[in-house]
Amino acid sequence: MFHLNSSQLKDLMQSGTPLLLDVREPHEFEICQIQGSINIPMNQVPAHLMKFELDQDIVAICHHGIRSAAVADFLESRGFTRVSNLTGGIDAWAREQDPEMPRY
């Protein structure tokens, strides 16, 4: 698994279209999200594996980067080869890239 900081994710988003997999709970996702991200709560990811391609760029996102790191590890254990974790999560993104984004 590769760890991305918020600046690296911003660059990646400008140069391509990674799948932004937000693994927070729906009530968290309603508060704030990175545009274009999809919300699949952590405990539901195993049931949705068929929606992803093994070689697509996937960036796992949560509040602070702990849950998303676990999901990224899980995806790699299932054969996904281009998985990253947003270090610091949506909170780091809000602080460093989108100061207008609500925080919790």
| 2-4: strand order across its sheet | 2-4, 83-86, 58-61, 19-22, 38-39
Q: Which listed residue (40, 62, 69, 83) is catalytic? A: 62
32 classed as catalytic: no
Largest CA distance in the chain: 37
The position carrying tokens 């729906």 is 26
- Nearest Cα to Cα of residue 32 among 86, 83, 95, 102: 102
Where in the sequence numbering do the catalytic residues fall?
62
